[in-house]
Structure formats: C-alpha cells, structure tokens
Amino acid sequence: MLTQEIINLGEPYFQSENCLIYNLDCLESMLKMPSECINLTVTSPPYNIGKEYENILPLSDYLKWCEKWIQQIYKLTVNDGSFWLNLGYLSIPNSAKAIPISYLLWDKIPFYLIQEIVWNYGAGVAAKNFFSPRNEKFLWYVKNQENYTFNLDEIRDKNVKYPNQKKNGKIKVNPLGKNPTDVWQIPKVTSGKDRSSQERTSHPAQFPLTVIDRIIKASSHPNDLILDPFLGSGTTAIAALNLNRKFIGFEIRQDYCDLAVNRINNFCQNETIKKSQLSLF
Ligand SMILES: C[S@@+](CC[C@H](N)C(=O)[O-])C[C@H]1O[C@@H](n2cnc3c(N)ncnc32)[C@H](O)[C@@H]1O
C-alpha cells in the first residue's frame, strides 16, 4: 500500500492501492518530499515551444526551471535508481531552428548519463526546407554508475532474423531475443480520422505505452515506486500499474488530471474483470 503519509503532501487528487495523483506543481511538491523514496522517474517536461499547456519563458528562465526540478528528482532518487528523460527540440532565434534540449541541459544535470536512446517514429510533419523530423530522445540517467538496474532479459526483442545461427556448434542467439539497441522504432500516438491510435486521449503530447513499458521493465522491479512529475494523460501511471509497480504523479492542470484518473479507473476496472474471468477456471 502506498500511503500519503510517506509522501508528505496532503490530500491527493486521486488515490488507489498503488497509485497517488496530485493536481499540484511538481517542483513545489518535490521540495516537500523525503529524500531517496523513488526508484525510477520517467517523464517528459514542457519543451517551452508554445503547446497548449505552456507559457513560453525566456530561454535562460526555462533552463533554470529545468535545473531546479531535475535537482529535486536527484534528491528523491534512491542510490541505485534511474531517471529517464524524454526531450525534443526548441528553436533559438538567429541561432538554431531546432536545437536538442539535451544540449542546453548537458552540464546542469547531476545524474550520470548512461545512454541516449533515439526514439524514431514513422509519422510527423512533412518538411519542405529541411529533413522531416522523425525522432525524439530518451536520456537514461542513473544516480550510481556502479550500481543500477538493467533487466535486459525483460526487454529482449523477439524479432531475431537468424535465430538458429550457430557458433562452435552452439546456438549463438539468446533464446529470449536480442538486445533492442539504442534506436527504438515505435510509432507515436496519432490522432485523426481513420488513423487515430487506440490509446489516444485528448492530451496533445501523449507517450506511447510501448515505450514506457520497455523503460519500466528495464529500469525497475515489481513493487518499486515510479514517479512522473509531468503526468499529462497518465501514460506512465498505466504502464507502472500494469507492471505491478507503485506510482506517484503530479499534473498542474486539473483537466489533464481528470484524463489520467479516467484512464487509471478504466485500467483498474479491466484488471478486475480479467481477474474475475480467470477465477472462473
Ligand atoms: C509533455 S506533457 C506530458 C505528457 C505525458 N507524458 C503523457 O503521456 O500524456 C507535460 C505535462 O506537464 C504538465 N505540467 C507543466 N508544468 C507543470 C508543473 N510545474 N507541475 C506539474 N505538471 C506540469 C503539463 O500540463 C503537461 O500535461
């Protein structure tokens, strides 16, 4: 049971056995939380590019704000914990049409960077004066470079081209599959008539569940506590609960909290139905 007392933030917007959602500013909230209580954080912050949930800040203020909430995530993370940060691009007048936000934050992050994952997706805007953008990055950080979780066998890619290839008479390929590499080709959550993803909500920047599922399997264990400080439509919550992890999330907008809570309630109802069907056999 995940209790509010441990988290120290008062009444949540939503609570279930393994999940706490707060309709609060994440920075103010994380400042009040105890150190070293989170195993894994997976998140995507606002990119300061004018989405419906953003007030554009001067670049230096935006970067200072990012530094502050990242420092709080560092404080909250247990010694063998991880931080997965999804970042895209922003433009800087007279300097860059689309600079990776990770370049701007590079020296402001106290974690140890293990790897940058390229998330390559098929659909997107068709550019005319430059290459059509088809990627974002997931940066995988850990607190302790000597001691962190990587459950490779949980996330192996079953799609092996030559499964029976042998070396010295022995099958060479791991029967569980191959390492999925640092380039992940996973479709974006799409909208639009006849092409809308099944998991689509009305949130304008929704993560695909498949990506978050892989991250949580790789970087945490059952019963671990997962955090998403920029919860949006609640994708990280659904993936965490589905993998028997505990979850805490912050979202500043009440309408997005409602989206997330609806998704979580639907997920819990489906789980109850599945369990009752299984108990019939
Ligand atoms: C990129 S979206 C996250 C989308 C999410 N990954 C999903 O799958 O739906 C960022 C979210 O952070 C929220 N947000 C912005 N500033 C915040 C703050 N200070 N505290 C908490 N949430 C905030 C926005 O309202 C927005 O929903």
User: Domain locations in the chain?
Assistant: 4-278
16 has a pLDDT exceeding 90: yes
57 has a pLDDT exceeding 70: yes
Going from the Cα of 41 to the center of ligand 1, the distance in angstroms, rounded, reads 14
Whose CA is closest to atom 7 on ligand 1?
Answer: 206
- Alpha-carbon distance of 23 to 14, in angstroms, equals 9
State pLDDT tens for residues 187-216: 999 877 777 778 889 999 999 999 999 999
Burial of 67 (C-beta count, 10 Å sphere; 0-12/13-18/19+): middle
* Strand locations in the chain (E): 14-16, 19-22, 38-43, 77-87, 89-92, 96-100, 112-120, 135-142, 166-167, 170-171, 183-185, 225-228, 246-250
pLDDT value at residue 274: 83
Name the residue among 3, 1, 24 with its Cα closest to residue 13.
24
pLDDT value at residue 191: 77
Q: Answer yes or no: pTM beyond 0.85.
A: yes
Ligand 1 nearest-atom number relative to CA 253: 25
Whose CA is closest to atom 3 on ligand 1?
Answer: 232
- Alpha-carbon distance of 198 to 185, in angstroms, equals 18
Average pLDDT of the chain? 93
**4-278 — its CATH code?**
3.40.50.150
Whose CA is closest to atom 4 on ligand 1?
Answer: 232
- Alpha-carbon distance of 40 to 223, in angstroms, equals 11
Task: Count CA atoms closer than 13 A to 233's CA, side-chain side.
Answer: 15
Query: Is the distance from CB of 204 to CB of 51 less than 8 angstroms?
Result: yes
pLDDT value at residue 1: 62
Whose CA is closest to atom 18 on ligand 1?
Answer: 25
Whose CA is closest to atom 5 on ligand 1?
Answer: 232
Ligand 1 nearest-atom number relative to CA 229: 21
State pLDDT tens for residues 60-106: 999 999 999 999 999 999 999 999 999 999 999 999 999 999 999 99
224 has a pLDDT exceeding 80: yes
State pLDDT tens for residues 130-187: 999 999 999 999 999 999 999 999 999 999 888 888 888 888 889 999 999 999 999 9
* Strand locations in 44-153 (E): 77-87, 89-92, 96-100, 112-120, 135-142
Ligand 1 nearest-atom number relative to CA 69: 19
Among 56, 252, 262, residue to substitute to test ligand 1 (most atoms within 8 Å of Cβ): 252
Ligand 1 nearest-atom number relative to CA 236: 8
Among 29, 216, 230, residue to substitute to test ligand 1 (most atoms within 8 Å of Cβ): 230
